[in-house]
């Protein structure tokens, strides 16, 4: 039975619609032209290039929503939160421009040299934050963050480890846009770097999360 479940999980991951964005330039992300705010920088890391944000006025906007139509989904990112940035940082924001105030967000809360993940889903009047204040991590390192929604439950993970979960009903996303480094109303700027982001139309098991 366990073997069968594993095979099914791998099949779902293989056939799920997914979009991977490498943040290695300031002209196009995932084939889409971007709007650049401030002066984010392309940097070299031991795993490839990344975009670094200053926590003051750096951000990028991509005029697409990779989650259109998804009834279940996973948002993942490899990112490096740095110290001495704003306390609240909304660093990945997917907004539905067809349905009223529907969004998905990855956020950090930073204090001195520690941070924790705060994720958020909203669909109409339904909303759910997962505020992982009891799961603090050192700044200045690369981490994998994932927000998973399976159609009824939202979960978030850091480096493949489940931190929090909760129930929420969400309608499938309509067309919209995505911002990285800042919330889309241009507040709560991110200090750190983002190297890779993936959007999947399936609730992925941690075994199938995005590799480095």
* Domain ranges, residue 69: 18-205
Return d(Cα 199, Cα 68) in angstroms, integer: 10
Question: How many residues appear in the chain?
Answer: 212
Q: Does residue 12 belong to any structural domain of this protein?
A: no
Residues 43-98 have pLDDT tens digits of 999 989 999 999 999 999 999 999 999 999 999 999 999 999 999 999 999 999 98
CATH of residue 56: 2.60.120.200
Residues 169-186 have pLDDT tens digits of 999 999 999 999 999 999
The answer to whether residue 2 scores a pLDDT higher than 60 is no
CB-based contacts of 195, cutoff 8 Å, min separation 6: 22, 23, 45, 47, 48, 49, 50, 51, 78, 79, 80, 142
Q: Does residue 36 belong to any structural domain of this protein?
A: yes
Q: Does residue 100 belong to any structural domain of this protein?
A: yes
* The total number of structural domains that make up the chain: 1
| Secondary structure of 1-38 as H, E, C letters | CHHHHHHHHHHHHHHCCEEEEECCCCCEECCEEEEEEC
The answer to whether residue 1 scores a pLDDT higher than 70 is no
Q: How far apart are the first and last CA of the chain?
A: 30
């Amino acid at each position: 039975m366990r073997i069968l479940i594993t095979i099914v999980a791998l099949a779902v991951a293989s056939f799920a619609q997914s979009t991977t964005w490498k943040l290695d330039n300031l002209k196009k992300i995932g084939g889409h032209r971007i709007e650049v705010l401030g002066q984010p920088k392309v940097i070299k890391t031991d795993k490839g290039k990344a975009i670094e944000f200053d926590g003051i006025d750096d951000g990028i906007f991509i005029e697409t929503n990779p989650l259109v139509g998804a009834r279940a989904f996973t948002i993942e990112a490899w990112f490096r939160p740095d110290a001495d940035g704003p306390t609240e940082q909304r660093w990945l924001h997917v907004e539905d421009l067809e349905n009223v105030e529907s969004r998905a967000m990855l956020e950090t809360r930073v204090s001195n040299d520690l941070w924790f993940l705060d994720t958020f889903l909203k669909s109409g009047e339904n909303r759910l934050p997962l505020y992982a204040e009891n799961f603090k991590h050192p700044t200045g390192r690369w981490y994998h963050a994932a927000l998973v929604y399976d159609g009824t439950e939202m979960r978030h993970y850091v480096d493949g480890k489940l931190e929090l979960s909760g129930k929420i009903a969400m309608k499938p996303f309509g067309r919209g846009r995505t911002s990285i480094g800042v919330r889309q109303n241009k507040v709560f700027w991110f200090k750190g770097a983002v190297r890779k982001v993936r959007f999947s139309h399936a609730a992925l098991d941690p075994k199938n999360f995005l590799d480095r």
